[in-house]
Amino acid sequence: MIPNEAKKRLIQIVGAENYDDTKAGRLVYSYDATPQFQSLPDAVIAPRNTQEVAEIAKICNEYRIPIVPRGSGTNLCAGTCPVEGGIVLLFKHMNRILEIDEENLTATVQPGVITLDLMKAVEGKGLFYPPDPGSMKISTIGGNISENSGGLRGLKYGVTRDYVLGLEVVLANGDVIRTGGKLAKDVAGYDLTRLFVGSEGTLGIVTEATLKLIPMPETKQTMLALYQDLEAAARSVSKIIANQIIPATLEFLDQPTLEVVEDYARIGLPTDVKAVLLIEQDGPKEVVERDMKKMADICRSEQAVSVELARSEEEAEALRTARRAALSALARLKPTTILEDATVPRSEIAKMVKAINEIAAKYQLKICTFGHAGDGNLHPTCPTDARNREEMERVEKAFEEIFAKAIELGGTITGEHGVGAMKAPYLEWKLGPAGIAAMKAIKQALDPNNIMNPGKVFAKSTRKRVVVTR
């Protein structure tokens, strides 16, 4: 609950129209795209500038009110679910592209800018902002930074982290700091920029970001390779990389995923094969042609039943759109869709795919697998029904085994979605007690009262099963 005194002061800062504590107003910010989580905030506040954010932080720090910064609520680790109540901070007013600097190849933006809007704005100037999360049509840059979002181009271009040059951050005590800047090189002290990227709103609130842009690649080609054998597809991935080709995109979809994606997109995807690879290369024309030919040869040598180039950009875009919709399309199968994010070194992709299938069989579950095969980031996804308690328990056990397997293969529990509340119980598997202690020390130093997105990243007890709250 927010004390009356605090409420009065908060309203003074943002105005009554930007402070909402009606029941319906709170309910619609009680969730994000993570199926099992829902909890009501005490109020929803939309500040108009950094100064207001800083003052809000001060008040919340004084009264120990949790703050959950939220973009469009598309994240998949319950990172924007207010699990301990408090206020949800919206960035709908802070959504301007402040500058596109063509001389330094940077863009400076407010956190509420929609990712696709930024991409389009820089494309208009012949520039390229590569991070492209599946939700880019609606996700915000602030959210991308806080979750360190990946995407289809992660293999060649890296993830959001690799494009953040500088940040303006409001700390829990209301201090405003600036990290980095338009510089290519900067080794003055600790790299705070990297610390805040991917910190999931637990260390501070990003209120402005300077992003790196690169020149738009000259050309791009897209192809689809079809397989009747799952593991042959996975082997092709390792072989492509081993042949020293880094494609822009190397995506994997298995048959159940293909079926639902086609059901949604209706673009003529094959549904009678066991797996497909969606492959893209961009760059100078001759390099693209050479790489595409080499990759097609590799796929064929690994028993691809067909390898086909997209005939037009339209066709290629349809393929990419279909792939981006895979997660939500899987929700057609059953009412609850549990999507995971296990990642392994790419040489282990085939082993991981095999293990996922065995684990699914063991627990009598349908687990569909798709993901960014090129960077080892898989999304085993289980369509289930939260109302079926018995099946939900099997799902949880299966995913525990999948995470354990990923770690055994040298991987991690999340490659791009973040820890949030969803993976918090498993973080220690990856980091060990000393690793957790180091992270907690940083958290304690920056947010001693634990008001910044509490309940995320660190679990209250380890190895606690995910709790379904309906």
Nearer to other proteins, 37 or 363 (CB): 37
Closest to other proteins by CB, 332 vs 354, is 332
The binder of other proteins chosen from 121, 195, 331, 439 (CB under 8 A): 331
Cα 78 from chain centroid? Answer: 11
Distance CA 212, CA 220 (A): 21
User: Distance between CA atoms of 77 and 440, rounded to whole angstroms?
Assistant: 19
How many Å apart are CA 323 and CA 211, to the nearest integer? 26
Among the listed residues 1, 3, 28, 437, the single contact to other proteins using CB under 8 A: 28
Q: Between residues 30 and 144, which has the closer beta carbon with respect to other proteins?
A: 30
DSSP state of 429: H
Decide whether 67 or 237 has the Cβ nearer to other proteins.
Answer: 67
Report the amino acid identity of residue 381.
Answer: T
- Amino acid 144 reads N
Is there binding between residue 245 and other proteins (CB under 8 A)? no
Residues 375-414 that bind other proteins (CB under 8 A): 385-386
Nearest to other proteins of 100, 327 (CB atom): 327
Is residue 332 close enough to count as binding other proteins by CB under 8 A?
yes
Q: Exposed e or buried b for every residue in 450-460, given b needs 16+ CB within 10 A?
A: bbbbbbbbbbe
User: What are the angstrom distances between the C-alpha of 71 and each of 165, 205, 206?
Assistant: 20, 12, 11
Among 24, 184, 187, 188, binds other proteins (CB under 8 A): 24
In the structure encoding, which two tokens stand for residue 459, read together?
């679990």
327 binds other proteins, rule: CB under 8 A? yes
Our CB check for other proteins shows the closer of 1 and 242 to be 1
Query: E strands of 373-452, at which residues?
Result: 377-384
Residue with tokens 């720090």: 61
Q: Which stretch binds other proteins (CB under 8 A): 208-216, 284-292, 335-343, 365-373?
A: 335-343
CB of 283 vs other proteins, minimal distance in Å: 30
Q: Are 441 and 223 in contact (CB under 8 A)?
A: no
Give me the 91-110 binding string for other proteins, x by CB under 8 A, dash otherwise.
-xx-----------------
Question: What is the per-residue binding string for other proteins in 40-79, x denoting contact by CB under 8 A?
Answer: --------------------------------xxx-----
Number of residues that bind other proteins (CB under 8 A): 38
Cα–Cα distances (Å) from 226 to 296, 301, 351, 371, in that order, read: 11, 12, 19, 15
Stretch that binds other proteins, among 135-143, 170-178, 291-299, 442-450 (CB under 8 A): 135-143
Q: Which residues contact 339 (CB under 8 A, 6 or more apart)?
A: 76, 327, 330, 379, 381
Beta strands 219-227 and 205-212, pairing class: unpaired
Q: Which residues bind other proteins (CB under 8 A)?
A: 22-25, 27-33, 35, 72-74, 90, 92-93, 114, 135, 137-139, 263-264, 325-329, 331-332, 335-337, 385-386, 470
